[in-house]
Chains A and B, each alone.
Chain A
């Protein structure tokens, strides 16, 4: 009976680890498809297809948002602190959209390297704080945007960290 149990234990462990390896390999093979968006550095490297709907993501570069006074047209730069991507969009932006904020834009990459967006989604980071704290941080010269950029580097834009460290 004991031997039988032991055998069963090994069979189950073997089965589960085989399944885990299978899933792991599948996810590894599909890793580029699983990423929700292309980072500007990938687009600059030519990984993203032209004339097809793609998603790109990164931080809205500070001072890059340019709103047209006559229409809803807005131009901004999405950055991953390594490369930049120019985005043009016509429509209503989400409430959370602002400079220094993470965004995902859906649209077509144009021949000359900018992206015509059909949809702009806001990302937010895992840091929450009351308005007073945000204000206090801003007054002391440490703005929430900085705070966010920092979180972004540590999280999704981890790869860019080394490059960004040189700038700070």
Chain B
């Protein structure tokens, strides 16, 4: 068990194993997103009230899921880095932040576009929307902190700490619709309760969510690999590897 974890923390081992995993996640992401979006946008039935504008859900919900999951993953990676000093965790956390910020933006933007035909407004300072905006700023803060220090170690520690403290926002986002009166409706998509929509609407949404997660894993593996090469460029195995290529 411990041997495995130590192995997992080794950049060299990770570089080798991720090379084998990467194509699978790319293929899965492409296939799932393609099937999910065609099914969701063209074949799933329109909603009885909102008509076709309801189809924004197929982008909005997966993006919002990912925005929150990436932040939690980043915080966990930061925690592992802070306590066990595993550099690989910090590399992964570094490369996750921009994707998370992008997903948060996609969720906010698609929500605003969806809000116009359904609610009658782009934006409302309700608890769900505001806490999601705070998540975007937290991502910006994490990215900015990494750039603000000249020493990488202090930058990593500051960014990890912000991610760990910022994770408090995640349950607030999740439960905001239950705790307070909001314009946003309660959760649509839950793993634990019965889906709030018929199967022919729900299945493409599930496929999209899975596709987005595969996309996240693929992007993170790929970018962590480049980050390993960048940070470990003076290590022997990296030099040997680059010699081989060139």
Which residues on A are within 8 Å of B, measured CB to CB?
5, 8-9, 12, 15-16, 19-20, 23, 27, 31, 34-37, 39, 57, 94-96, 104, 119-135, 144, 151, 155-156
Contacts and interface: CB of A to CB of B under 8 A. Distances in A.
A136 to B, nearest CB: 10
B83 A5 contact: yes
Interface residues of B, number: 43
A120 to B, nearest CB: 7
B201 A128 contact: yes
B77 to A, nearest CB: 13
Contact of B121 (A39, A121, A127, A132): A121
Given A12-B82, A144-B48, A121 B119 contact: yes
Give the dominant DSSP class at A's interface.
Answer: mixed
A86 B180 CA distance: 23
A128 B196 contact: yes
Interface string B169-185: 00010000111111101
B49 interface: yes
B23 interface: no
A121 B182 CA distance: 12
B161 to A, nearest CB: 8
B47 A129 contact: yes
B50 interface: yes
A151 B154 CA distance: 49
Contacts of B117: 95
Contacts of B185: 123-126, 155
B57 A128 contact: yes
Contacts of A135: 48
A23 B168 contact: yes
Interface in B173-223: 177-183, 185-188, 196-198, 200-201
B197 A128 contact: yes
Interface in B123-179: 124-127, 161, 164-165, 167-168, 172, 177-179
Contact of A9 (B83, B180, B182): B83
A44 to B, nearest CB: 16
A133 B196 CA distance: 13
A125 B186 contact: yes
A39 B45 CA distance: 34
B45 A36 contact: no
B54 interface: yes
A130 B45 contact: yes
A5 B48 contact: no
Contacts of A31: 179-180
**Nearest 5 Cβ contacts at the A-B interface:** A130-B45, A134-B48, A94-B120, A128-B197, A36-B126
B102 interface: no
Interface string B54-98: 100100000000000000000000010011100000000000000
